[in-house]
Amino acid sequence: MSRLLAIAIWLTAIITVGLFAWPKWRLPESISAHSAAIDHQFKITLIVIGAGFALTHAALGYAVWRYRAKNGERASHSSGNARVEIILAAITAVVFIALAGTGQKVWTQLQLNQAAPDTMQVEAVAQQFVWNFRYPGADGKFGRVDPRFYNDADNSIGARPGPLGIDPADPAGKDDVVTTTLVAPVNRPISLTLRSKDVIHDFYVPALRLKQDAVPGMKINIHFTATREGRYEIACAELCGQFHHQMRAYLDVKSPRDYEEWLKKNSK
Amino acid sequence: MSQAQSQTAKPSTFISRYVFSRDHKIIGLQYFFLALTAALVGSAMSLLMRLRLAWPQSRWPLLEMIFPGGFGDGLMKPEFYLAMVTMHGTIMIFMVLSVAPQSAFGNYFLPIQLGAREMVFPRLNMVSFWLTLASFVVLMSALFVAGGAPIGGWTFYPPLSAVASAGPGQAAGADLWLVSISIFCLASFLGSINFIVTTLTRRTKGMSLMRMPLTCWGWFTTACISLLAFPVLFVACLLLFLDRNYGMSFFEPAGLVVSDRLIEGGGGSPLLWQHLFWFFGHPEVYLVIIPVMGVISHVMATFARKPVFGYRAMVAAIVAIGGLGFLIWGHHMFISGMNPRISIAFSVLTLVIGVPSAVKTFNWLGTLWGARIRFATPMLFAIGFVSVFVSGGVTGLVLGQTSLDIVFHDTYFVTGHFHLIMGVAALFGVFAATYYWFPKMFGRKMNEAMGKAHFWLTFIGVYAIFVPFHLLGVAGHPRRYADTLWFEFLKPLQPLHILITIAALVTAAAQLIFLFNFFLSLSKGARAGDNPWDATTLEWTGAASNVEGDPPVVYRGPYEYSTPGATKDFSMQNEPM
């Protein structure tokens, strides 16, 4: 029994570490300016915890293999070893706190630094189970919105008030562009303001390494730069009701010229 | 004195002895069987979820006959899937994991191990159990009301859970959920007072705090956590109930439009719920695992035939985890819209709590080092516990980092992490405790061959289930999705879902071995002596508790195994020096 259990413990460790090291199970493709740093931090962390995991399982398997009961023999009497204990705890503390420190790097860069004032502004508005995106148009200003004006029935691009309830009386809202696809020019920083009309949703783009709750009553600002053209999926990552798993939209990253063309075509 | 006598006097009728019992042992067993029932229900729900995840387009006409509202044309409706998500989580976390390690085994063994005659407030103890049972009944009734059980998950975030029209199950089902959990909070709060006062005032002569078995330290620390955490959840549930039914809006901002209807009121904050909920919810994790840590240390010393390595460090680690557990709730909210600066503090403290957890792991390994291990079933589960505790723990170092939480928050990586560290690790502790204390509770031993078969299938099974969870999470799979059909990036992951479901079915079937063994051993198990494991603590002295007569006197620490020069390889706590 002891040998078998030791082998099982070792095999568990080998297989698990192997699965994580196997390139088949890697993170999704990464297409944002900050994603390489996140992926790097994940790799470092995986190596550290993989080592800790493997070492403890090696030790556990060894103890199980080596120290089984034998007739008449007594266990060694030891009720502890303060020195070993303090050394091990200190090493752990240093490693864990170092991880905690390095783990803040991308966070600080994304969350504590505001986007530059001239950054392109887009708004993402969530509702059960749809995403809408709004561009401020040529004037650079978003029109006033009011929940009393919400009109989900007409969501054509030029619709006023449309699903976001843009006040038809506000001149700033006249040229706002409202779409169901987030279109972004490549390599240009984008400041995205998240809102929700009903319950909490979460703007989640695996390829951007970006995830942020959209909370009703709050305007939450995030910023990112997409660095590769293509079409990527946007999901909802906060349980928002019956059809949470169907709340999909697309992020279209276009060349600057294609983006301008798209914007012109969809502006009034 | 007369009151003490009346409390310990044998009740005369069946009802007062076994139903409305004030005997801590009967109450412990009542809690145990409640948790066992809840575990069966909760596991069955997880299997229903697994069926839909593995084969989302398969038809299950047989299941439709059992749950006519949950299926249409044989297909499981997404709202039924989400109702199962909510109920599985709620049942497992409250009715199983908060009940079995603490209320069941704690009630049974805390007084005995302390050399006390009874819990200090036996009547209150009875009330705690009956409130817990009522809470379970109310929770289950949510399945049978119009609209079914709530679909908002066990975290119950408003506004989804505050507005009845936000989805099926969010009407009467959600109200019942809130009532059930409020009752549970009250029961746990009352129970915690009993545990704390009993530990502080009813220890027998010689049982100093530092001579208490580590199980008692676990139960005592957990009771302290319960005392502080459950009232906060109680208040949160009350406020949400007022929001839903009496026109308040503590958690809803102005201008909310749900299902085309403008919700009256405003001025509330959805984040307030999250702070209140997680102020309870994170300590909750520790109040599940701390009594289990006590059990594992206790069992491990017995079967390693060695004192627990670093007893004082183990006590310090339990207390440190219990205290720090109150300072890290914000790591559930990194991407909630909370101030990102405070996230950094929560993140660092979260990784710091890994240190006492690591100390405990070293000390379990230290206890095994140089041991003479007897591989009985309780010990197999204790060793298995160390493995899953480490496996589930290390991924906490990923999720605790703000930067990486952006990637893994609300994915299967989180689900895998907490199932291993909280669900599986705690259940391994409960299994270890059941096999270990069965002889004391029922006078017989459970069957070893069946116990070993149960361990092996479970140990392999849980890894086959939950390692793939992490791989799904790395690939970006969000949790609480009823299927993978709507996203291109999820479709290639479907084979993993099928693998997990098969592993879950096999692992669940293996639990039938445990059930069969348990009930068969009640009448057919080999008769056990007073001290079948050659253990040292007071539950094995053979004396019945809750009777007249002198309490035992304690002369030694809890884990005097293999003491050099002693005639036997164990010295019981009540053996004079």
Q: Which helix (H) or strand (E) holds A203?
A: strand A201-205
Q: Would you place residue B546 in the very low, low, confident or very high pLDDT band (cuts 50, 70, 90)?
A: low
- Residue B545 near residue B25 (C-beta atoms within 8 A): yes
Whole-number Å distance between alpha carbons of A164 and A147: 8
The rounded distance, in Å, linking the Cα atoms of A99 and B397 is 8
Same domain, A188 and A229: yes
With CA atoms as reference, the chain A residue closest to B489 would be: A233
Averaged pLDDT for residues A62-66:
95
Q: Can you name the residues that pair with A251 across neighbouring β-strands?
A: A182, A232
Beta carbons within 8 Å of B171's beta carbon, 6+ residues apart: B145, B146, B147, B164, B165
The total of other beta-carbon atoms located within 10 Å of residue B551's CB is 18
Strands A130-135 and A120-127: antiparallel
Contact A76 B306 (CB under 8 A): yes
Residues B160 and B270: beta-carbon distance below 8 Å: no
Q: How many CB atoms lie within 10 A of CB B524?
A: 10
- Average confidence (pLDDT) over B165-183: 96
On the question of pLDDT at B543 being above 90, the answer is: no
Question: Where do we find the tokens 């040998």?
Answer: A3
Query: B428 vs B186, B419, B495, CA distance in Å?
Result: 27, 12, 28
Mutate to test the interface with B, among A198, A220, A223, A248 (most CBs of B within 10 A): A198
Cα separation values, B36 from B99, B349, B407, B434, B518, Å: 10, 35, 36, 11, 11
For domain B27-250+266-571, give the fold: Cytochrome C Oxidase; Chain A (1.20.210)
pLDDT digits (tens, 9 = 90+) for A15-47: 999 999 887 778 999 999 999 999 999 999 999
Residue in B278, B324, B407, B479 to test binding to A, most A beta-carbons within 10 Å: B407
- Chain A hits for B308, CB-CB cut-off 8 Å, are 79
**Residue B285 in this model has a pLDDT that exceeds 70:** yes
Q: How far, CA to CA in Å, does B445 sit from each of B423, B518, B521?
A: 26, 9, 7
CA distances, B146 to each of A153, B70, B168, B258, B358 (Å): 29, 12, 9, 20, 48
pLDDT at site B230: 97
**Residue A162: which CATH number?**
2.60.40.420
| Cα B19 from Cα B5, distance rounded (Å) | 20
* pLDDT score of A118: 83
Q: Residue B13 — left, alpha, or beta (φ > 0 → left; ψ -120 to 50 → alpha)? A: beta
Residue B2: pLDDT band with limits 50, 70, 90:
very low
Q: Of the candidates B191, B280, B189, B180, which has an alpha carbon nearest to the alpha carbon of residue B232? A: B280
Distance of CA A144 to the CA centre of its chain: 30
Pull the structure tokens for residue A170: 């506000």
Q: Give the per-residue pLDDT at B4.
A: 44
Chain centre to alpha carbon of residue A151: 31
Residues A99 and A179 in one domain: no
* Residue B138, Ramachandran bin (φ over 0: left; ψ between -120 and 50: alpha; else beta): alpha
The interface residues of chain A toward chain B in range 25-44, judged by CB-CB distance below 8 A, are 25-28, 37-38, 41-42
Using a CB-CB distance cutoff of 8 angstroms, which residues of chain A are in contact with residue B269?
Answer: 217
CA dist A182 → A72, A135, A261 (Å): 74, 10, 15
The answer to whether A74 contacts B562, with C-beta atoms less than 8 Å apart, is: yes
Q: What is the pLDDT of residue A13?
A: 95
Is A99 in the same domain as A131? Answer: no
Q: How many domains in chain A?
A: 2
Residue A80 lies in a domain: no
Q: Are B406 and A211 in contact (CB under 8 A)?
A: yes
**A75: in domain:** no
> CB distance A70–B372 less than 8 Å?
yes
Chain segment B226-272, per-residue pLDDT in tens: 999 999 999 999 999 999 999 999 999 999 999 888 998 889 999 99
Q: Does B257 touch chain A (CB under 8 A)?
A: yes
Reading the block at residue B69, the tokens are 């509202």
**Closest chain B CA to residue A73:** B372
SS3 A106: helix
Helix (H, G, I), strand (E, B) or coil at A196: strand
**Which residues, numbered 201 to 240 in chain A, qualify as contacts with chain B under a Cβ-Cβ cut-off of 8 Å?**
202, 204, 206, 209-213, 215-218, 220, 233, 235-240
Q: Which two tokens stand for residue B133?
A: 């049972």
> What does the alpha-carbon distance between residue A118 and residue A126 come to, in Å, rounded to a whole number?
25
Contacts 24+ apart (CB under 8 A), A142-148: A142/A172, A142/A173, A142/A176, A143/A167, A143/A170, A143/A171, A143/A172, A143/A173, A143/A174, A143/A176, A144/A170, A144/A172, A144/A173, A145/A173, A146/B255, A147/A197, A147/B255, A147/B256, A147/B257, A147/B262, A148/B262
A217 backbone dihedrals φ, ψ, rounded to 5°: 90, -10
Provide, rounded to the nearest whole percent, the portion of chain B with pLDDT above 70.
Answer: 97
CB spacing of B362 vs A96 below 8 angstroms? no
Q: What is the pLDDT of residues A158-191, one digit of tens each?
A: 788 999 999 999 999 989 999 999 999 999 999 9
Question: What amino acid is encoded at B568 in this protein?
Answer: K
* CA B283/CA B230 separation, integer angstroms: 9
Residues A240 and A194 in one domain: yes
Q: Is B327 helix (H, G, I), strand (E, B) or coil?
A: helix
A83 interface with B at CB cutoff 8 Å: no
Q: What is the mean pLDDT of chain B?
A: 94
- ipTM value of the model? 0.96
Helices then strands (H, E): number in chain B?
A: 20, 6
Sign of CA dihedral B364, B369, B374, B375: positive
Q: Categorize the per-residue pLDDT at B548 as very low, low, confident or very high, splitting at 50, 70 and 90.
A: low
Q: Is residue A155 in some structural domain?
A: yes
* B chain contacts of residue A197, beta-carbon cutoff 8 Å: 256-257
Q: Which residues of A touch B378 (CB under 8 A)?
A: none
Same domain, A166 and A144: yes
Residues A15 and A133 in one domain: no
The answer on A155 and A134 residing in a single domain is yes
Same domain, A140 and A98: no
Q: pLDDT tens digit string along B119-151?
A: 999 999 999 999 999 999 999 999 999 999 999
Same-domain check for residues A142 and A231:
yes
Q: Is A152 on the interface with B (CB under 8 A)?
A: yes
Shared-domain flag, residues A12 and A121 = no
Percent of chain A's residues with pLDDT above 90: 76
Choose among A38, A79, A88: nearest Cβ to B403: A38
pLDDT tens, residue by residue, B477-532: 999 999 999 999 999 999 999 999 999 999 999 999 999 999 999 999 999 999 99
pLDDT for B476 beyond 70: yes
Domain residues for the domain of A47 are 2-66+86-111
Statement: residue B6 has pLDDT above 80: no
CB B243 within 8 A of CB B251: yes
Residue B71 pairs in a beta bridge with B76
Quick check: B474 and A39 in contact, CB under 8 A? no
- The string of pLDDT tens digits covering residues B327-343 is 999 999 999 999 999 99
Instruction: Please state the domain extents for chain B.
Output: 27-250+266-571
Residue A13 lies in a domain: yes
Residue B250 buriedness (CB in 10 A; 0-12 / 13-18 / 19+): buried
Using the predicted structure, report yes or no on whether residue B3 has a pLDDT greater than 60: no
Could you read off the pLDDT of B42-71 as tens digits, one per residue? Answer: 999 999 999 999 999 999 999 999 999 999
pLDDT computed for residue B1 by the predictor:
34
* Chain A residues with CB-CB distance to B69 below 8 A: none
Structure confidence by residue, pLDDT tens digits, B404-430: 999 999 999 999 999 999 999 999 999
Verify that A156 and A213 share a domain, yes or no: yes
Q: Are residue A38 and residue A132 in the same domain, yes or no?
A: no
Query: What does the pLDDT read at residue A156?
Result: 80
**Residue A81: inside a domain, yes or no?**
no
Residue A153 touches chain B, beta carbons under 8 Å: no
The residue from A76, A95, A111 where one domain ends is: A111
CB-based contact (8 Å) between B344 and chain A?
yes
Distance from CA of B32 to the nearest CA of A (A): 29
CB-based burial label for B500 (10 Å; 0-12, 13-18, 19+): buried
* Interface subset of A 165-184, CB within 8 angstroms of B: none
Band (pLDDT 50/70/90 cuts) for residue A266 is confident
